[in-house]
Amino acid sequence: MKKTDKSQLFVLHFAGGNIYSLRFISAFLTDFEVIPLELPGRGKRMTAPLLHDFEEAADDIYRQIITQRNHMPFMIFGHSLGAYLALAAAQRLEQQQQPPACIFTSGNAGPGIRSTHNWHQLNDQDFIEKLTTLGGLPPEFLDSPELLEFYLPIIRADFKLAEKSSFASHRINIPIYAMMGSKEKTMGEIGNWQQFTNALFRYSLFEGGHFFIDEHAEKIAAIIRTFYHSISSTVKEKLS
C-alpha cells in the first residue's frame, strides 16, 4: 500500500463490523488519509480465525497501525468495541514511543462502566433481542437465517472481546475526545474517559442512540479535524 504525506486517521469498527462499517466518515475527511482496520474473521480477513481474547485483539490492531503508519502524525477513532481497542492500541503505541496525536472514542463511556454484561453468553434468541435494542442489526438479518448463522458468531466473539476487556492501570499522555449519543443509557458517564489520560480531554453528545454516528458523520468529521488542528502544533514539536 502506497503511503501518503497526509496525516492519518485509523478507524476501528464496532462489534460485528469490518473495514466498510465506518467508511462514510472518509467522504468528509479527504484532507486526511483515512485507514479503516478490521479484526480477523470478517471482510478481507475472512479466512483468519476469530479472536476471543482482548489482549490479542489489541495486539492485532497495534501491529496493523505500526505497519501502515507514515511519517506524519496520526489519530485513532474507535466506535463501541473500537473505542476500547483505540485506548489499548494507544497504550501500546505510547510504550513504543510512537503515540498517536490523539484518540477519538465513540458510543462507549469507557472501561469500568457497567462492564458486567455477559451478552456473548446468551442464547441466540436473547442475543438477537439485545442486538436489536442497540439498533445495529439490519432488518434483513432478522429475515435471513443464513445471514444470522454467518454473522452471529462474529458478533458474539466481538462482544466477548468488549465484555472481557482489561486495561493497564497507567494513564496515557495522549488527548482523548469522547462522543456518545444522547439516548444511550451511559451517556451521563462519558466523563469517565478523562481518568484514562493525563492530557487534554473533551467530549460531545449527539442526538441519537448507540449508532448516532450514522446520522452525524459530517459533524463528527468536523470535530476530528478541528481537534487535531488545535493540538497539531504540540504534536509537531514532539516529532521534531
Structural domain including 53 reads 8-235
Q: Examine residue 1 and state whether it is found in any structural domain, yes or no.
A: no
Q: Examine residue 70 and state whether it is found in any structural domain, yes or no.
A: yes
Total domain count, the chain: 1
The pLDDT tens digits for 41-85 are 999 999 999 999 999 999 999 999 999 999 999 999 999 999 999
Q: Examine residue 107 and state whether it is found in any structural domain, yes or no.
A: yes
Q: Examine residue 2 and state whether it is found in any structural domain, yes or no.
A: no
For residues 97-109, give the mean pLDDT: 97
For 14-70, the DSSP string reads: -TT--TTTTGGGGGG-TTSEEEEE--TTSGGGTTSPPP--HHHHHHHHHHHHHHH--
User: Percent of the chain, pLDDT > 90?
Assistant: 69
Q: Examine residue 155 and state whether it is found in any structural domain, yes or no.
A: yes
> Which pTM value belongs to this model?
0.89
Q: Examine residue 240 and state whether it is found in any structural domain, yes or no.
A: no
- Kindly indicate the confidence band of residue 169, based on its pLDDT and cuts at 50, 70 and 90: low
Residue of 78, 68, 86 whose CA lies nearest to 172: 86
Q: Examine residue 3 and state whether it is found in any structural domain, yes or no.
A: no
Q: Tell me, what CATH number does 79's domain have?
A: 3.40.50.1820
